[in-house]
Amino acid sequence: MSKVSGKVALVTGGGQGIGQAIAERLHADGFKVAIADLNIDTAEKVAASLGGKAAGVIAVQVNVVDRDSVFAAVERTVTQFGGFDVIINNAGIAPSSPIEEITPESIEELFSVNFNGVVWGTQAATKAFRALGHGGKIISAASQAGHVGNPGIALYSATKFAVRGFTQTAAKDLAKYGITANTFAPGIVKTPLMENLAKKVASDAGMSEAWGWEQFTKGITLERLSEPSEVAGIVSFLAGPDSDYITGQSIVVDGGMVFN
């Protein structure tokens, strides 16, 4: 992709996994990057590894569940870098949720991070773009499980379907401000989130960790797991000028699990 000189992006959940890979890729693309995470230690570590403030990278603590916290993180990014162009609503959690074990609390827990966090990020970014007098790009994490219901993770799948639905309306409602909204939909990516899920599914079934991973790798056309950098490549495209005519879409990057 062409270098994006000096534009500003904020990545939630940027302290590890896919978010870290996105932060690294956007920085390489020429963005100034705010790495926003609940875990400020990992966010600071990633920021330092990319050269810190001098290299156009800051760490910001955020809890995406908390609307005020998300607005504060975006405002801090604008103050530090003097602009704001792209938000990546990437933070998410993925506990398993067998249908008969779902409770009001588990619904609240999953939706507050995976869905509400996207809503607050979309609002905060829209406010910043409009105050700065230009458009921008809103990019949120969906999943292949937000295209097809996945066994054992009903709530997670539901949050990701919700993110796609919200994004379609955001695209229509915010186009008049020059704002596009899209999602990326990864498959099975080698990250701490996926590792924890594979281990949990295996221990629930009394099977080995390798068996747990196999439950998720069956049916991947390319017959391998995804690297976080492969998801970051799609986010780079969605954050850059080559995707200016794309809005309201969910780009599946899953090695061929879901065929639309």
Ligand X SMILES: NC(=O)c1ccc[n+]([C@@H]2O[C@H](COP(=O)([O-])OP(=O)(O)OC[C@H]3O[C@@H](n4cnc5c(N)ncnc54)[C@H](O)[C@@H]3O)[C@@H](O)[C@H]2O)c1
Residues known to be catalytic: 156
Task: Select 131 or 148, whichever has its Cβ closest to ligand X.
Answer: 148
One-letter amino acid at 235 equals V
Task: Select 91 or 181, whichever has its Cβ closest to ligand X.
Answer: 91
Q: Give which of 80, 59, 57 is closest to 15, Cα–Cα.
A: 59
In contact, 195 and 209? CB cutoff 8 Å: no
Task: Select 81 or 213, whichever has its Cβ closest to ligand X.
Answer: 213
In contact, 50 and 23? CB cutoff 8 Å: yes
Site for ligand X in 166-185 (CB under 6 A): none
Tell me how far, at minimum, the Cβ of 134 lies from ligand X, in Å. 26
Tell me how far, at minimum, the Cβ of 163 lies from ligand X, in Å. 8
Site for ligand X in 88-127 (CB under 6 A): 90-94, 113
Tell me how far, at minimum, the Cβ of 87 lies from ligand X, in Å. 13
- Give the integer Cα–Cα distance in Å for 188 and 8: 28
Per rule CB under 6 A, count of chain residues that contact ligand X: 30
Buried b / exposed e along 167-183 (16+ C-beta atoms within 10 A): bbebbeebeeeebbbbb
Of the candidate residues 11, 64, 181, 253, the single one contacting ligand X (CB under 6 A): 64
Tell me how far, at minimum, the Cβ of 36 lies from ligand X, in Å. 7
Q: What angle do CA 164, 167, 170 make, to 5 degrees?
A: 160
Binding mask 193-232 for ligand X (x = CB under 6 A): xx--------------------------------------
- Under the binding rule (CB under 6 A), the answer on residue 77 touching ligand X is no
- Under the binding rule (CB under 6 A), the answer on residue 141 touching ligand X is yes
Of the candidate residues 1, 28, 50, 65, the single one contacting ligand X (CB under 6 A): 65
Of the candidate residues 171, 189, 252, 253, the single one contacting ligand X (CB under 6 A): 189
Cα four-point dihedral sign 72, 11, 238, 259: negative
- Give the integer Cα–Cα distance in Å for 97 and 76: 36
Instruction: Give the CA count within 13 Å in the CB-facing half-sphere of 98.
Output: 6
- Under the binding rule (CB under 6 A), the answer on residue 24 touching ligand X is no
- Give the integer Cα–Cα distance in Å for 155 and 97: 6
Q: Cα–Cα distances in Å, from 52 out to 17, 55, 74, 95, 226?
A: 19, 5, 18, 32, 28
Which residues lie across from 88 on neighbouring strands?
11, 139
Task: Select 40 or 175, whichever has its Cβ closest to ligand X.
Answer: 40
- Where along the sequence are the contacts to ligand X (CB under 6 A)? 12-13, 15-19, 37-39, 42, 62-65, 90-94, 113, 141, 143, 186, 188-189, 191-194
